[in-house]
Structure 1
Amino acid sequence: MEAYDSAKFRQLVNSADLVAPDGKPLSWSLQALGAINQQQVCGRELTLHICKAASFSRIPIGFYGSSKEVLKALITKMQQRYPDLDIAYAYSPPYYPLTLEEKNVVIEEIKASGTRILFVGLGCPKQERWMAQHKNQVPAVMLGIGAAFDVLAGAKPQVPGWMQKLGLEWLFRLCLEPRRLWYRNFRHSPRFVIFFALEILKLLLLSLCILAPEVDLKLQESPLEIIQHKKL
């Protein structure tokens, strides 16, 4: 919905090399609209899979986002899980905007670290904006993973598997952080359902428009012509 409401942000998202749905309802919606093989890409699971592969291939990774305490716990847990994982960089940005000089220092530190995969956990839409802004400056693959840092570090609980399968991860997170998430959920979720229903309606109408001439043509043919047509 952020992309729907803002043409600038929509262009920013569309300019990414790869965009994947991190929520079950969104993946279901895409399947209903024709992307039948589209599955949910969970930030936590994606991070674990990539870190496992990076540890095996000795590819340096980095973390950008969250608090210093969370990053410290995250690094400890990831090194326990993957002893050969090379965590070359970790930075917790301040809540205030960085100056141009501070931004340049951060970029130079990322370059100097040799990081080739940078996990960015700033939350949407902040992380998308940050990655787009630094796409041509950071010599690494950047992945926006939302709140995965907090979950992997143990700072926040992981959503139960049954809730994730039922597409209720949003409800679980809302119960954990109602003050932070209630406005976004109750502003965006109903609108998403409405716009999704309209897209389904458009597809149904389009299908009827395509099928209507074929049905009309068959009605104009005699039974004998239809049989001869089938034989041919």
Structure 2
Amino acid sequence: MSSAITYSPAPVAARVDGVPVAAVTLDETIGRILEMSTTPTTDVLVGVNAHVINLARHDARLRAFLETTTFNYADGQSVVWAARSLGVTLPERVATTDLGPALIDAAAGMNAPVYFLGGAPGISTAAAARMRERTPGASIRSAHGYFGEAGSDEVLSDIRAHGTRILFVGLGDPLQENWIQQHRDALPPVVLTCGGLFDWLSGAHRRAPKMMQQGGLEWLWRLAIEPRRLARRYLVGNPAFVAAVVRQRATLRTAGARRQIA
């Protein structure tokens, strides 16, 4: 990836059930983040999947937040397929589990400190240690996600002391988005929501086989790992997402037919 590339803001390519999604590749996303990390402002990126879109349908606060981000990328293959069914081609799925390690490699190359915030006690610390071992020279500090509102000031102070340029926030949806919105003015140049990323980076969970990833079945692997926690998200949420996209597609077709008649 050339450091000479200058990236303009990623435009909205699709709206999946009302949620804006940009058409970006993994390499392009990393390039944009590195550029943003050198600025004095705060850019926020959200990886959207079927679960986030389902939540936004009923959560006005989350829906409004997703309109204020720098851009949202397709973290779930379901979002890529949904966009395609609506007539928009997204170049690829940008899985946060792929983005995390690749971004840490790139950040280490330009001495940009990274912060892991979230997860159960010990998980983000283990993830940071594993990433430092994988990428010598990476500057990563961490804090677990069980700090409560009273602990936010201490966390923000630690982020500032570290000189963080790229912050991963893994508090789960929509808590992580709400926390970012509440403290946006005090956050570093780049902030990414990352859900349960630290479980994967720490090695607490093993990634699905490549065949399942490529086939859009990684959700099934996650369901097998955590059936009690994720059963409702996937077994109820996936059909709800498909139904919402079908409704949107029908609405677009009806609107198109009306324009033709007019």
In structure 1, what is the equivalent of residue 58 of structure 2? 5
1:57 equivalent to 2:110? Answer yes
CA distance, structure 1, for counterparts of residue 164 and residue 172 of structure 2: 21
| Greater strand content | 2
Show CA shifts across 1:23-75 (max 9, x none).
Answer: 10111101222331342111111111211111110111111011332223212
CA distance, structure 2, for counterparts of residue 38 and residue 135 of structure 1: 30
Query: Shift of the alpha carbon at 1:118?
Result: 0.6
Q: Is contact 1:123-1:147 (8 Å) kept?
A: yes
CA distance, structure 1, for counterparts of residue 58 and residue 133 of structure 2: 42
CA distance, structure 1, for counterparts of residue 124 and residue 59 of structure 2: 31
1:153 equivalent to 2:202? Answer yes
The correspondence of residues 85-96 of structure 1 with structure 2, limited to 5 A, is 85-87=138-140, 89-94=141-146
In structure 2, what is the equivalent of residue 31 of structure 1? 84
Q: Is contact 1:74-1:152 (8 Å) kept?
A: yes
CA distance, structure 2, for counterparts of residue 161 and residue 182 of structure 1: 22
- DSSP 3-state at the match of 2:71: coil
CA distance, structure 1, for counterparts of residue 152 and residue 194 of structure 2: 21
The one-letter code of the counterpart of 2:153 is: N
In structure 1, what is the equivalent of residue 168 of structure 2? 119
| Greater helix content | 1
The one-letter code of the counterpart of 1:76 is: A
Show CA shifts across 1:207-231 (max 9, x none).
Answer: 3334446xxxxxxxxxxxxxxxxxx
Moved more, 132-141 or 173-182: 132-141
1:143 equivalent to 2:196? Answer no
1:133 equivalent to 2:182? Answer yes
Q: Is contact 1:30-1:38 (8 Å) kept?
A: no
TM-score by length of 2: 0.74
Please tell me whether Structure 1 or Structure 2 has the larger radius of gyration of its CA atoms.
1
The correspondence of residues 175-190 of structure 1 with structure 2, limited to 5 A, is 175-190=224-239
Q: Is contact 1:174-1:182 (8 Å) kept?
A: yes
- DSSP 3-state at the match of 2:104: helix
The one-letter code of the counterpart of 2:68 is: S
The one-letter code of the counterpart of 2:148 is: P
Unaligned runs of 5+ in 1: 214-232
Computed over aligned residues only, the root mean square deviation of the Cα atoms, in angstroms, reads 1.7
- DSSP 3-state at the match of 1:85: coil
TM-score by length of 1: 0.83
Q: Is contact 1:44-1:148 (8 Å) kept?
A: yes
1:174 equivalent to 2:223? Answer yes
- DSSP 3-state at the match of 1:77: helix
CA distance, structure 2, for counterparts of residue 5 and residue 72 of structure 1: 34
- DSSP 3-state at the match of 1:119: strand
In structure 2, what is the equivalent of residue 219 of structure 1? none
CA distance, structure 2, for counterparts of residue 67 and residue 140 of structure 1: 25
In structure 2, what is the equivalent of residue 103 of structure 1? 152
Moved more, 139-148 or 45-54: 139-148
Q: Is contact 1:22-1:43 (8 Å) kept?
A: yes
Q: 1:68 to 1:97 in 2, by over 3 A?
A: closer
Unaligned runs of 5+ in 2: 1-53
Equivalent position to 1:74, from 108, 123, 127: 127
CA distance, structure 1, for counterparts of residue 76 and residue 152 of structure 2: 31
Q: Is contact 1:31-1:38 (8 Å) kept?
A: no
CA distance, structure 2, for counterparts of residue 15 and residue 180 of structure 1: 29
CA distance, structure 2, for counterparts of residue 169 and residue 123 of structure 1: 18
Query: Shift of the alpha carbon at 1:158?
Result: 0.2
- DSSP 3-state at the match of 2:192: strand
Q: Is contact 1:64-1:91 (8 Å) kept?
A: yes
Q: Is contact 2:122-2:144 (8 Å) kept?
A: no
